[in-house]
Homo-oligomer: A and B are copies of this chain.
Amino acid sequence: MSLRERKIAKKKEDILRSAVRILAEKGYQGTTMEDIAANLLMTKGAVYYYFRDKQDLLYQSHQMLLERSIENVKYIQQQDISIEEKLKHSMVVHVEHVVNEQSGFELMLKPEQFFSEEQQEKLRELQAKYSHCFDEIIQEGIQMQVFRNLDKKIARNILFGAMNWVTQWYTADGKKDKKEIAAVIADYLMLMLLKNK
């Protein structure tokens, strides 16, 4: 990648990061291009230089979040720790990510409204990839008789719902900090999965 391309890529990521935050805060329809640009001390026009349109920005934000999440969990998955540890750790990282980005699911709501069929396809694929990482861990845990014999998909959706909901109730001024909250949530959810608890 040339220097120029690097610079562009860097700028794009800056914009995406800003967009993610604001989109998470105000929702897709509630966020204006002005908002996103102003937050970066740019003008709207400049944003349009990097992204075709608002929808493209949303799409790439979404994509970036998912890809980062996948990286996170992949990294954990290949570590040499117990299956129990893997799941718990994955959840902690997920919750932390959600809390940090103040997002995690605002963007995931009703994708069919915003995205083209092609884009939806790509996003579904990424989501499936991410989901699959969890499914695999759960599957392995069940086979190893560490986890109860639950329906993988339903269990995984329960985990996701419980984790993503954290943006609705966690406030930084509480007694617990992000790490503690993430740990507690993960612990509690593990109770659902673990045998002999």
Residue of B nearest to A25 (CB): B110
A93-134 CB mask vs B (1 if < 8 Å, else 0) is 000000000000110111001000000000000000000000
A164-197 CB mask vs B (1 if < 8 Å, else 0) is 1110110000000000010011001101110001
User: How many residues from A make CB contacts under 8 Å with B?
Assistant: 38
Copies of this chain in its oligomeric complex: 4
CB-CB < 8 A to A150: which residues of B? Answer: 188
* Contact of A82 with B by CB under 8 A: no
Contacting chain B: which of A4-12, A58-66, A70-78, A153-161? A153-161
CB-CB < 8 A to A162: which residues of B? Answer: 157-159, 161-162, 165
Spell out A's residues near B (CB within 8 Å): 25-30, 105-106, 108-110, 113, 148, 150-151, 154-155, 157-166, 168-169, 181, 184-185, 188-189, 191-193, 197
